Amino acid sequence: MPATSANDAPVIQIRDVTKIYEMGDGTIQVRALDGVSLDISDGEYVAIMGASGSGKSTLMNIIGCLDVPTQGTYQIDGQAVESMSNDRLADIRSRKVGFVFQTHNLLPRLTALANVELPMMYGHWPNRRQRAENALELVNLADRMDHRPTELSGGQQQRVGIARALVKEPSVLLADEPTGNLDTSNTAEILNIISDLNHQNGITVIVVTHEQDVAARADRVITLSDGHIIADEPNGARSADESSPFGGERGRERAKRDRRGMRVEPRGKVDAGDIQGSATVAVGDHRSD
């Protein structure tokens, strides 16, 4: 199936979104996002980059309808989310968003098939089993359907995670550091699957990452810093060096260091982020958590 051409109305439309977290007794206010505006069209493959504390997690939570903005408007598929109740948000998550997590977040006692069926439980989906099987076939796991997560490799678990995100045909596939816990070969495998889903099945993909080679697969790279978008550029050459805000050599260097850090601490995200954060303090464009 060829990539569908982008519709006129964007799938994601974010206007002047500000998110303020209140710490303590409301005395300390943290502006995690500050006046962010962003459009993402149907079929796009977007990477959101930024260091820890840049606001990319907050942006992801808002795009994924796990959180609502303090100010500004956000529409997903033309539906305004900012004033929705918890249940309506849950409904939007159920129908429009497919999450892929860094730590897979599969339910350990369910088989791969049951894990993929899980999101369809919340909403009245017919043919759940058939759909789940199709989704698992799409990520080449047809022969592992009855395995539990502990019986699967990290890469296979993440493929189950992707199948679970896909199964309801969401408006957007939202991947948060999808390869953060994986080694190099599994990373490549997962990124290939995500690219294929975007190119061949026309699924809108948003990947949140701090890794250059993950972002390099995207058509468009958005870079956040201190709650602002500091760069939003197409990634035509799909070259990490061209679009890197850090410059080629340093970017590659950082990516290596991150992976090395993760091999030592396989649980990953926080530790890797800390390593990254401390390594880039000298650069001066990051804020530590």
Partner 1 sequence: MSPLDIIRTSLYSLSSNRLRAALALLGIVLGVCSVITLMSIGRGSTDRITELIQGLGSNLLTVVPTGAPLTLADVDALGDPLYTPSIKAVAPQIGTFGTIHINNNTTQAPVNGVTPEFLQVRNLEMATGTFIGAPHVESRAEVVVLGSQISEDLFGNQDPTNAEVRINGRRFRVVGVLASQTGFGSMDDQALIPITTAYYRLSGQRIPGGNISVEQISVQASDVDSVDQAIEEIETVLRLSHRLTDADDFTVFNQQEILDTFEETNQTLVVFLGAVAGISLLVGGIGIMNIMLVSVTERTREIGIRQAMGAKRRDIVAQFVTEAVFLTFGGGIIGVVAGITLATVIDGRFLIGAEWNTRVTNDIPLIALIVSVAVGLFFGIYPAVRAARLNPIEALRYE
Position 93 contacts partner 1 (CB under 8 A):
yes
**Paired tokens of 20:** 């303020």
Site string for partner 1, 141-180 (x = CB under 8 A): -----------------------x----------------
Position 124 contacts partner 1 (CB under 8 A):
yes
Is residue 161 within 8 A of residue 100, CB to CB? The reply is yes
Q: How far is CA 221 from CA 102, 120, 122, 162, in A?
A: 19, 31, 33, 21
Q: Tell me the one-letter amino acid at 32.
A: A
CB of 101 to partner 1, least distance (A): 7
**Cβ closest to partner 1, residue 122 vs residue 249:** 122
Is residue 204 within 8 A of residue 4, CB to CB? The reply is no
CB of 270 to partner 1, least distance (A): 9
Position 77 contacts partner 1 (CB under 8 A):
no
**Cβ closest to partner 1, residue 67 vs residue 213:** 67
**Cβ closest to partner 1, residue 109 vs residue 260:** 109
Position 129 contacts partner 1 (CB under 8 A):
no
Q: Which of 50, 64, 178, 268 binds partner 1 (CB under 8 A)?
A: 64
CA 3 to chain centre: 20
Position 19 contacts partner 1 (CB under 8 A):
no
Q: Order across the sheet with 12-23: list the strands.
A: 28-40, 12-23, 71-76, 79-80
Position 66 contacts partner 1 (CB under 8 A):
yes
HSE-up (13 A, CA, CB side) for residue 68: 15
Neighbours of 244 (CB within 10 A): 22
**Cβ closest to partner 1, residue 104 vs residue 220:** 104
The residues facing 13 across adjacent strands are 39, 75
**Cβ closest to partner 1, residue 210 vs residue 254:** 210
- The three-state secondary structure class of 269 is helix
**Paired tokens of 147:** 């395995």
Chain positions contacting partner 1, by CB under 8 A: 61, 64, 66-67, 86-87, 90-91, 93-95, 99, 101, 105, 107, 109-110, 118-119, 121-124, 164
